[in-house]
Amino acid sequence: MDKKTTSRDGTALAYEVTGQGPAVILVCGAMSTGGTVAPLAARLADRCTAVVYDRRGRGASGDTAPYAVAREVEDLAALLDAVGGDASLFGVSSGGALVLEAAASGLPVRRVAVYEVPYADFLRGGAEREAAYKEALTKALADGRRGDAVELFLRLTGLGEEMIHGARQSPMWAGMEAVAPSLAYDDAVMGDGLLPRERLAAISVPVLSVAGGASPEWMHRASQAVAEAVPQGTYRVLPRQTHMVEPDVLGPVLADYCTD
């Protein structure tokens, strides 16, 4: 990240800008940094000014206690100002919940796009699972058990025990533990895990909600529900894509949307 800006509470935010055209700020999900969405930014760069950043508590950005979702909205406001005050927002997974909240808060953005925000209403037993995760995650982080916190998240995503064990032995595990405290931030962004219909109804800009054709049916239903809950929503499915969407597939769709 070659640039820095400062959020309202004094937190330093690291970001970088590539490309030219209408600006779009890319927001990563849990266990991720700006580097996670950098390949998507590269795919957008020929048509858009793509902005990637490390969310607070991750990568090269700072952090300031106490955490609140409103602080992350202020982070997006600072980035918006840094790039000239005119941009769209894109968020993946829980990052999508953050950009929806930012738009509902009245952040002056052109439009919003999200990819597979995992609202649990549409998964059998999802609300109970989310509540159990929140309780266990809070305790693990309070006890300083970062590795256990990462394991809890990986199980929540459906990763099997053998793969979790393999991840623990891999070189990437140290990096995962380093950003483990930010899992609490994504958990806060998701709230109770349920679709915030009243909040989404307050969004006054167009919203594109995208799902992968190879993702589970409950994820399709959650993504479609987002589009239905906002006043100006569009739902789209990308064939053969999963939650780990390919930049070469999503990029053209997002570029078309942000340059329309």
pLDDT tens, 87-130? 999 999 999 999 999 999 999 999 999 999 999 998 888 889 99
Distance CA 167, CA 133 (A): 20
**pLDDT at position 260 over 90:** no
pLDDT of residue 127: 85
* Interatomic CA distance for residues 222 and 144, integer angstroms: 33
Q: pTM of the full predicted structure?
A: 0.96
Strand pairing of 233-238 and 207-212? parallel
> Would you state the pLDDT for residue 62?
97
- Residue 82's pLDDT is what? 97
Q: Are 139 and 186 in contact (CB under 8 A)?
A: no
Of 73, 108, 126, 101, nearest to 196 by C-alpha is: 101
Q: What local confidence, expressed as pLDDT, does residue 123 receive?
A: 86
Residue 163 CA, distance from chain mean position: 23
Average pLDDT value for the chain: 96
* Residues counted in the chain: 260
The mean pLDDT value for 20-27 works out to 97
pLDDT value at residue 158: 87
Q: In the predicted model, what is the mean pLDDT of residues 164-185?
A: 94
Residue 8 has what pLDDT?
97
Cis geometry, peptide bond prior to residue 181 (ω within 30 degrees of 0): no
pLDDT at res. 251: 98
CA angle, residues 65, 84, 100, in degrees to nearest 5: 55
What are φ and ψ of residue 219, in 5° steps?
Answer: -70, -35
256 Cβ contact partners less than 8 Å away, ≥ 6 residues apart: none
Alpha-carbon dihedral sign for residues 65, 69, 70, 76: positive
Instruction: Kindly state the tokens that stand for 85.
Output: 């005050």
Residue 193's pLDDT band, with cuts at 50, 70 and 90, is very high
Pairing of strands 12-19, 87-92: unpaired
